[in-house]
Structure formats: C-alpha cells, structure tokens
Amino acid sequence: MDSTNGAAQKSKGLAFRLFLVSLAALLVLTISTSVAIAFGVGKWLVREDPLQQATAIAVLSGNIPTRALEAAALYHDGYAKEIWLTHPASHDSALKALGISYPSEDAFNIRVLRRASVPAKAIHVLDQPITNTAEELNVISAELSSRGGDKIIIVTNKSHTRRVHILWTKYCGTRGEAMVHGISDDDYVANDWWRDPGSMRQVTHEVLGIVNAWAGLPVRRDVAQTPEVVAADAKTAPPQHAAAD
C-alpha cells in the first residue's frame, strides 16, 4: 500500500514539475513574442506600394516642405499630371479678426511646388477644410471619384503609411485605389525606433491612431460630409443602397 502511495505522490510531483516547466516556457514565449512585436512594430508601420500612373499625386498635410518636394519629384518622373493639396483647418479666421495675416499650409506647399518647377496649372487645392487624416482621405477620394479616376498616389511620411492604408481600405476603398508612398529622405528610424526620440514619438502616435482606426474612429469628430463626398457616395454606392437612401 505504501509503495502504491509513494508512486502516486511521485507521479503527482512529476506532473506538477512538468506544469511549472510548461508555464515557465509559455511565459518566456509570451515575453519573447511581445518583445519581438514591440521591436518590429517600427518596420511594420511602413507599408508602401509600387508606383503606377495615377490620376493625381495627393500630398497629405504636415511636414512642410518634404512631402511637397517628394510629390514634385514624382510629378517630374511622370507618374501623374496633377498634384493635389489639402486644406487643413487652422486659426486663420481668428487671426484675420486681429488683422494678422497667416498663410495656410496649402499656400506654403504651393510655393514649394512652384520652386520645384511644378507649373501652376498642375497644382490643385482641395478647398474643403480638414482636421485629421480620415477627413483628408475622405476629401481626396471624393475628388478622385468625381474626376472618374481609379488610382491616386498619396505622399506622406513612412511611419504614417500603414495607417493611411488602413483608413483608405476601410472608408474610401470603393472610390479607387490608393498607392501610398513615403518620402525618400525620411529620417524615421524603423529598425531601432526606440533609440531615436523622434521615431519613438512617431511610433506611439501611429500605433494609437491605428488602434483608433480599427475601433471605428471613436476618438475624433465625424468626417465632414461635403456635397462632393455625398455625390461621390451616391455615384459609387450599389443600386439597392442608393434606393434605401
């Protein structure tokens, strides 16, 4: 009887040790995977497309003058006959009330493009004010649809390319294909982002933005539905959807 109990206790002891070893291995695997994901997220954020002929090259707001200069280079390479600039909402109205002149970001970008030998007739400003990337892509895709185009090149920073892809696919994909392109001389450090303060800020900002996009954009106000956007939606919507509206 004693030998039987002893064998049972040894068996239980062995099973417990195996459980602890398995738990430790699982913990190490989880930590290793988390670290690998954290270190690899910098490269994952970069999602660029091979470029083709497009209806236009759209410059997302921010990072003057690098994005506009990249768009000018693509224009001179013959990828499109127009460059589109968006119009970020700003405090210009409040400043005007004080008698202070404050050029908009698109005005600065126009000057950059003209200095880069892009003809004025090739520059088109999308006048609808925008306050975030989702609104910006909404306005760009509506313009593409209204022009009857099917492809657009979108110029932004490399760390921003993944989020632009996610937003376009989720909210604007029915209006055409976006080829997202990061600026060539971007100083973003994808491999060692945690060692570079600027890259660390970009990664944090973009990861939070992507989580927000996956969640349905709860942390922002609704995208402004301009007449152009409504018209584009009506044009691209399935017949039964249009009838339901």
Q: For residue 1, tell me if it sits in a domain.
A: no
E strands within the chain? Answer: 56-59, 83-88, 123-130, 151-156, 177-182
Q: For residue 48, tell me if it sits in a domain.
A: no
Task: Dig out the tokens for 145 from the structure.
Answer: 């649809």
Identify the pLDDT of residue 102.
Answer: 75
Residues 6+ apart with CB under 8 A from 190: 42, 43, 45, 46, 158, 159, 199
Q: For residue 51, tell me if it sits in a domain.
A: no
Separation CA 5–CA 13 (nearest Å): 12
Q: The domain that contains 134 carries what CATH number?
A: 3.40.50.620
Q: For residue 33, tell me if it sits in a domain.
A: no
Identify the pLDDT of residue 99.
Answer: 78
Separation CA 109–CA 105 (nearest Å): 6
Q: For residue 102, tell me if it sits in a domain.
A: yes
Identify the pLDDT of residue 101.
Answer: 73
For residues 230 and 142, the answer to whether their CB atoms sit within 8 Å is no
Identify the pLDDT of residue 30.
Answer: 54
Separation CA 32–CA 30 (nearest Å): 5
Q: Which one has a higher pLDDT value, 30 or 183?
A: 183
Q: For residue 193, tell me if it sits in a domain.
A: yes
Task: Dig out the tokens for 9 from the structure.
Answer: 């206790």
Per the omega criterion (within 30 degrees of 0), is the bond before 65 cis? yes
Separation CA 160–CA 151 (nearest Å): 19
Q: Indicate the pTM of the whole model.
A: 0.75
Q: Which one has a higher pLDDT value, 152 or 27?
A: 152
Separation CA 213–CA 26 (nearest Å): 31
Overall domain count for the chain:
1
Closest alpha carbon to 136 in 87, 191, 188, 77: 87
Identify the pLDDT of residue 19.
Answer: 63
What range defines the domain where residue 213 resides? Answer: 56-236
Separation CA 166–CA 172 (nearest Å): 10
Q: For residue 19, tell me if it sits in a domain.
A: no
Closest alpha carbon to 115 in 82, 68, 79, 156: 68
- Position 132, amino acid: N
pLDDT digits (tens, 9 = 90+) for 138-155: 999 999 999 999 999 999
